[in-house]
Amino acid sequence: MKLTVYDSSLLQALLTCLILKSQAAVVEDFNHVDRCKDFLYMGTPPRAYLSSSLKKICQQYMDKPRFISFYDPQKHIPIYSAYTFEKSDGDKRGDVPWMFEPQLATEKGSSNMEPFPQSSLMHKNFEDTQAVLDDYADVIQYERGQLNPDEHQADPMDKAATYTLTNVIPLIREFSFGPWSTQVELIRRRLNNYCHGKAYVITGVTTSGNMIRRDNLDRVAIPEYIWTAYCCTDFDHNAPYSERYKLPVFGAYGLNDRVNNHIVEVPIKNLEKFLKGKMDVDKSFQIFYSDCVPDS
């Protein structure tokens, strides 16, 4: 069958529309979007979150998906970020401007994260749906904590992409620079040394109602706990037992506070049990598909 010029134009328009939709940063389903699902073990996100207001963001930088975030546009923080670990030397970039997600503000926004405009007046165009730099400007007791940390990436562009506020939660300074920083480095070394294949990491939070306020308004939720878990099915079976029993999958959590903020490392089932009592999830809550147990 021969297509007319009109039919060809219509077909081209439909294909363009589908391509643009598949590249959209705010997506309907992580595991239905090409390449976004690559950041998830078996292409499957954590299941059983009950809130219907959370947004799925395929975090795209320079026209390439870099990781994903499950975002709360009301509390202005990510509930979790999921990424693939890259063996690295642990250095941070530090030369990247903080960015925001245009498509949270408007469906016509860019599918790429973008640097914040210089004028804080421009921030009002998107501060309803996400945190802005002013929210963190005068809160010296908190640090901008990355759920996908710069130190767990190696490619310069992947590292740069972690500097978006849709990947950031407020961490108490003493916790951020102490136990949490130590845990990020511990995981980096463990996966660097003993994970032979791809390692999937998911890091998330629980919230308690406490908020950073600005201009007498609740702006950014302060997590009560931060948690993390990794899955690496291809690992070194000759690793020291102290490390080997924490593979292929293990988790950890810590209280986001000045005191009693030590990190607790736990098996994945224990972490899931702990989180069921702290988050709006049902009893089928699961972080990794089949708890990172490969199909036999």
DSSP one-letter string for the chain: -PPPHHHHHHHHHHHHHHHHHHH-SEES-GGGSTTTGGGSGGG---EEE--SS-EEEEEEETTEEEEEEEEETTTTEEEEEEEE--------------EE-HHHH-TTS-SS-EEPPS-TTGGGGTTTTS--GGGGTT-TTEEEEESS-GGG--SHHHHHHT-BGGGEEEEEHHHIIIIIHHHHHHHHHHHHHHB-S--EEEEEEEEEEEEEEETTEEEEEEEEEEEEEEE-SSB-TTS-HHHHTT-SEEEEEEE-SSSS--EEEE-HHHHHHHHHTTSSEEEEEESSGGGG----
Q: What pLDDT sits at residue 288?
A: 98
CA–CA separation, 36 vs 66, rounded Å?
Answer: 8
Reported as a single tens digit per residue, the pLDDT across 209-260 is 899 999 999 999 999 999 999 999 999 999 999 999 999 999 999 999 999 9
Which one-letter amino acid corresponds to residue 137? A
How does pLDDT run across 127-149, given as a tens digit for each residue? 999 999 999 999 999 999 999 99
Residue 97 has pLDDT above 90, yes or no: yes
DSSP class per residue in 92-136: -------EE-HHHH-TTS-SS-EEPPS-TTGGGGTTTTS--GGGG
Tokens of 208: 């308690």
Residue type, 271: L
Q: Reply yes or no on whether the pLDDT at 11 is more than 60.
A: no
For residue 58, what are the contacts with CB-CB under 8 A and spacing of at least 6? 24, 25, 26, 27, 30, 33, 35, 36, 65, 68
Reading the block at residue 272, the tokens are: 């899931």
Q: What CA dihedral angle connects 115, 66, 171 and 117, to 10 degrees? A: 10
Single out the residue of 75, 45, 42 nearest to residue 57, CA to CA: 45
> Rounded to whole angstroms, how far apart are CA atoms 216 and 196?
50
Closest CA to 164 of 25, 37, 277: 25
Q: Does 15 score more than 50 pLDDT?
A: no
Q: What is the mean pLDDT of the chain?
A: 90
Q: Which of 3-12, 111-120, 246-255 has the lowest mean pLDDT?
A: 3-12
